[in-house]
Structure 1
Amino acid sequence: MSLNAEERARTAAELRANLELAGVGADRVGVELGFVDGQLAEALGVTGADPADVWLLRDHLEDLVRAAGREPVPYTVLTEEARAAAERWFPLRKAPHRR
């Protein structure tokens, strides 16, 4: 499953909007996900990132936004329907559970 330039840009904007809604720093998100050496920047920009990292970030940001009592910005490319297709291409990881 590969995204074109417009889909990557749209997804990056949606991820960044949800990071802002979550009200936490990007560094914290990176640590919580165990990302290292530019991995978070790549996932946020949807450029050169492992697709599984992008999905992990997507899910974690949704959890953080909801934990903050807000409604996440909907994803137009990384939809639940797209998740089923992605799972056929690569293993997805579960986001850390928030308490």
Structure 2
Amino acid sequence: MSRTPAETEATSQELHALRDALPLANAPIESALGYAPGGLQAALDVHANPIEVWRTRDYLVSLARAHGIPIPRFSRLSDNMRSSAQRWFGPWDVPTM
């Protein structure tokens, strides 16, 4: 799954917007995802392994649903891209809350 620089930027903006909408600090999100302190940033900036970007997206979506926050439309990380991503990168687990 290759992305153009514009697609990478759009994906990063979408992830950051969702993260910013959540009423949580980064530390509990990083802990749930198994990231070192500060590790969330790489996934949000789309500079992490694609599986980690997807895991982060999915976990943020689950948190947003739990807090009644609207889920944004994702351009590249859309639900209809999931099966293709899993074929390319393999399956991933999303932590439960």
Number of residue pairs the alignment of both structures matches? 97
2:66 is matched with 67
- Quote the offset at 1:36 in angstroms: 2.2
Q: Is the 8 A contact 1:55 1:92 kept in 2?
A: no
Deviations 1:29-57 (A, max 9, x none): 1111001265322111002x100000000
2:12 is matched with 12
Q: Is the 8 A contact 1:21 1:72 kept in 2?
A: no
The RMSD of aligned alpha carbons is 1.4
**Do residues 81 (structure 1) and 50 (structure 2) align?**
no
Structure 1 unaligned residues grouped into runs of 5+: none
CA distance in 1, matches of 2:91, 2:30: 17
Task: Give, as a single letter, the amino acid of the residue that structure 2 aligns with 1:74.
Answer: R
Per the normalisation by structure 2, the TM-score is: 0.90
CA distance in 2, matches of 1:20, 1:94: 23
* Counterparts in 2 of 1:27 and 1:37: CA distance versus 1, 3 Å: closer
CA distance in 1, matches of 2:84, 2:13: 22
Structure 1 runs of 4+ aligned residues shifted over 3 Å read none
Structure 2 unaligned residues grouped into runs of 5+: none
Q: Is the 8 A contact 1:56 1:92 kept in 2?
A: no
